[in-house]
């Protein structure tokens, strides 16, 4: 195999740093999620959020019941924002009256999260929380997007690893790094 080491300009967050932050987010969700007869539905936004989703839900563990569901949304073509987002796979669950936690890898322009919220809100969930591992806050193009939980804020660089990809590659890296351009 060819080494990827030269492709990463620098490592922003190591596996250990990510694990600490993911545990903190899980602790906060355990406190914040309301008691209910129906467990909250955690929505894995595939494929970027896959690593984050597994570690976040595992860190909640037996502190509370939750339902895992997923969606696939396409928003990026060849590392550039397309300015729109398309839902490729929709949820299996009926979310009416349920507490929803949307788990995303990164919010950049915000177009993808806006599209997800516009799709889910009319289904009348009891609550929706947005939990993103990374927030490129300075790149935001949509107004008043509510983001409830942020792992780390990052600058406007293209980052890969821990689920985040470039052309479907680099997702398996255990750390998050800036991709050489
Ligand atoms: P937005 O619609 O511009 O907010 O883009 C969000 C989506 O674009 C995320 O779910 C990612 O899949 C992808 N994305 C945005 N920035 C990056 C990045 O730096 N690395 C990898 N994927 C990214
Ligand atoms: Mg994504």
pLDDT tens across 101-158, in order? 999 999 999 999 999 999 999 999 999 999 999 999 999 999 989 999 999 999 999 9
Lowest mean pLDDT among 31-45, 69-83, 163-177: 69-83
Total residue count of the chain as it appears in this document? 181
Pocket of ligand 1 (CB under 6 A): 48, 75-76, 81, 85, 104-112, 158-160, 164-165
**CATH 3.40.50.2020 holds for 15-30+37-156:** yes
Going from the C-alpha of 19 to that of each of 98, 151, 179, the distances in angstroms are 28, 10, 21
pTM of the model: 0.95
If one residue of 46, 48, 109 were mutated to test the ligand 1 pocket, choosing by the most ligand atoms within 8 A of its CB, it would be 48
Q: Would you kindly state where each structural domain of the chain is located, as residue ranges?
A: 15-30+37-156
Beta strands (DSSP E) in the chain are: 8-13, 41-46, 67-77, 80-89, 99-107, 127-135, 149-153, 159-160, 176-179
Which is the closest atom of ligand 1 to the Cα of 136? 16
**Ligand 1 centroid from CA 67, angstroms:** 25
pLDDT at 81: 60
Q: How confident is the model at residue 5 (pLDDT cuts 50, 70, 90)?
A: confident
pLDDT at 121: 96
Which is the closest atom of ligand 1 to the Cα of 81? 3
Query: Which residue numbers are catalytic?
Result: 108
Which is the closest atom of ligand 1 to the Cα of 141? 3
pLDDT at 107: 96
pLDDT in tens, 40-97: 999 999 989 999 999 999 999 999 999 999 999 887 655 566 667 788 999 999 999 9
C-alpha 42/C-alpha 139 separation (Å) is 26
Query: Residue of the nearest CA to atom 19 in ligand 1?
Result: 158
If one residue of 109, 112, 115 were mutated to test the ligand 1 pocket, choosing by the most ligand atoms within 8 A of its CB, it would be 112
């Amino acid at each position: 195999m060819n080494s990827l080491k030269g492709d990463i300009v620098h490592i922003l967050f190591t596996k250990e740093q990510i694990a600490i932050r993911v545990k903190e987010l899980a602790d906060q969700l355990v406190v914040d999620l309301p008691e209910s007869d129906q467990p909250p539905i955690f929505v894995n936004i595939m494929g970027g959020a896959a690593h984050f989703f597994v570690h976040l839900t595992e860190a909640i563990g037996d502190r509370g019941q939750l339902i895992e569901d997923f969606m696939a949304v396409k928003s990026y073509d060849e590392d550039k924002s397309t300015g729109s987002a398309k839902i490729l796979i929709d949820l299996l669950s009926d979310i009416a009256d349920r507490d929803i936690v949307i788990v995303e890898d990164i919010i950049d322009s915000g177009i993808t999260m806006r599209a997800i919220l516009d799709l889910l809100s009319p289904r009348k969930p009891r609550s929706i929380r947005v939990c993103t591992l990374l927030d490129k806050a300075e790149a935001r193009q949509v107004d008043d997007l509510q983001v409830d939980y942020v792992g780390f804020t990052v600058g406007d660089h293209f980052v890969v690893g821990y689920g985040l990809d470039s052309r479907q590659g680099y997702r398996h890296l255990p750390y998050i790094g800036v991709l050489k351009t």
